[in-house]
Structure 1
């Protein structure tokens, strides 16, 4: 079986249609049908940013309902649920605050799916169906980081299929809790504190005292922050180049290949390490290409550069008539 692991779509349905057609999927009037011996797997972040939110969700969930694809939850799906769920301790607030930054992040989604509407409630319930991770005999799939210790903390809050429950959503929304930290690790990645109280402003305008690190590198705690950080150079400019990354408690505890999205990579796709593949190559911006890794379940390793497929939307003059 070939598993077509598809990166973060972020509401760019035209790119998704183009990639599926390039991979040989054919629409039968109900859903996209994979070529013989193939199955799709979406690595999360289906929503936000792009202008085709509903179309993206309809394409993906039609494939899930037809059992020709799988998907895991991304941090944007999680955030959509938290943004829409009142805080049981204070009904005037939501689990994810409606501040200016969060409201802007959800703008594209809510422009098509009005807050509180019946269609909003429908899609929120469908998002609950996405597991936080999937593990097969041949590979592991998660949006940001395969951390079995964090997964063990989350397990009691999930269904048997590793799907979030309403109780789990509330528990993981409580900052300064083990459940919150575990959810952050699985859906957003590994972070380390910035030295000496430094603050970094991210692309959303949020001030951060921690920086995301490339957890797939070896010897994380013996490298400088500049070496291990996954952040723009402009954001790292205020951090001393000799500042060390410290107290990063992470170890990859599987021998299987691990597939993630989330990281806004650019350039020519290649494995991040001998064991890790990211399929997010910034499709959420016009210049980014929706990317797939074709995993052979019979021979998952070694990972191969030639297994990547990108849909070059800026080179495709075909009219996409499905939308």
Structure 2
């Protein structure tokens, strides 16, 4: 299922939308308990709400295997939903391309593969499950996607590709330049602009980047500073540079009258708050001593700061692997 407009429980209207977890199992459990979820017959459930995970539950953190089990069990039992994140997409590509004799970078997935050492069958089962996840959700009153809502691409997908079988979908996804490949990249990784004049940046996570992440909701931007959306700041001479007409034409917009949308992906910090009245990012760098954040959505047309709920991860992450090693 690459898309869903109908939640697992059709009458469901109250959702707890949870940002990027990256293997922080102890923090996940504490957040679920703070939200009122209780473990019953091995599954975390809420009597009247459903959890919605924004993807990126794997890689980086100390208890990845445990996170997958908690969330997959919740999804399969109807107490949660989840959309595909770029890290799950990378895991799928890694395994599929490896199976075709091709190669892809294993740096992102190194910690996940290490924690599944000797458990290849279990890992392959999870990768198959990742391939069943929707890329975006249209729930009653709100939209869910990992990184970017591109209305035009989503409309084209619904019109031309919605009936693809999983085999057709993932075969197209592994074909460089195909619409499905670009669609997945856009929705799970977002939009970017190249740094000017061949410049590059050394990012905080150790990568040399020649592009920077941009907002898909910027309103009448004039300079690079108006559209940049990433933890790594642009040098001032680049940030103040004016966008040319071609660059402006590549940018997306998200109108104020569109439904509230929830995203992850962008490594924010500080106290959680709306980006705009109808846009919220719930990725607050949990695995980097940040916060694991949820938003309690109940059908409101504007996102309010008082409905963000979180746990601080810094004190907890060191205990994750020890506390959650046995399944």
5 Å matches for 1:194-209? 194-209=195-210
CA distance in 2: counterparts of 1:111 and 1:87, whole angstroms: 17
The reply to whether residue 84 of structure 1 matches residue 95 of structure 2 is yes
Please give the per-residue CA displacement for 1:249-307, whole angstroms capped at 9, x wherever unaligned. Answer: 4233672111111111100110110110111111121x21100000013xx22211000
Structure 2 counterpart of 1:251: 253
5 Å matches for 1:124-163? 124-155=127-158, 156-157=160-161
User: Counterpart of 1:77 in 2: which secondary structure?
Assistant: helix
Gaps of 5+ in 1: none
Structure 1 counterpart of 2:266: 263
CA distance in 1: counterparts of 2:231 and 2:45, whole angstroms: 39
CA contact (8 A) 2:153 2:183 kept: yes
Please give the per-residue CA displacement for 1:85-126, whole angstroms capped at 9, x wherever unaligned. Answer: 1378xx4314xx1xxxx3221111101224992122111111
| Structure 1 position 74, deviation (Å) | 0.4
Structure 2 counterpart of 1:63: 74
Give the TM-score taking structure 1 as reference length.
0.85
The CA RMSD measured in Å over matched residues stands at 2.7
Structure 1 counterpart of 2:52: 41
CA contact (8 A) 1:150 1:186 kept: no
User: Counterpart of 1:290 in 2: which secondary structure?
Assistant: strand
Please give the per-residue CA displacement for 1:183-224, whole angstroms capped at 9, x wherever unaligned. Answer: 22111111223323333343444444332112222113xx21
CA distance in 2: counterparts of 1:178 and 1:115, whole angstroms: 36
Gaps of 5+ in 2: 1-12
| Structure 1 position 147, deviation (Å) | 1.0
| Structure 1 position 140, deviation (Å) | 0.6
Total equivalences in the alignment: 305
Structure 2 counterpart of 1:239: 238
Structure 1 counterpart of 2:295: 293
CA contact (8 A) 1:216 1:272 kept: no
User: Counterpart of 1:273 in 2: which secondary structure?
Assistant: coil
CA contact (8 A) 1:198 1:239 kept: no
User: Counterpart of 2:293 in 1: which secondary structure?
Assistant: strand
CA contact (8 A) 2:192 2:214 kept: yes
Structure 2 counterpart of 1:183: 184
Structure 2 counterpart of 1:312: 312
CA distance in 1: counterparts of 2:313 and 2:230, whole angstroms: 26
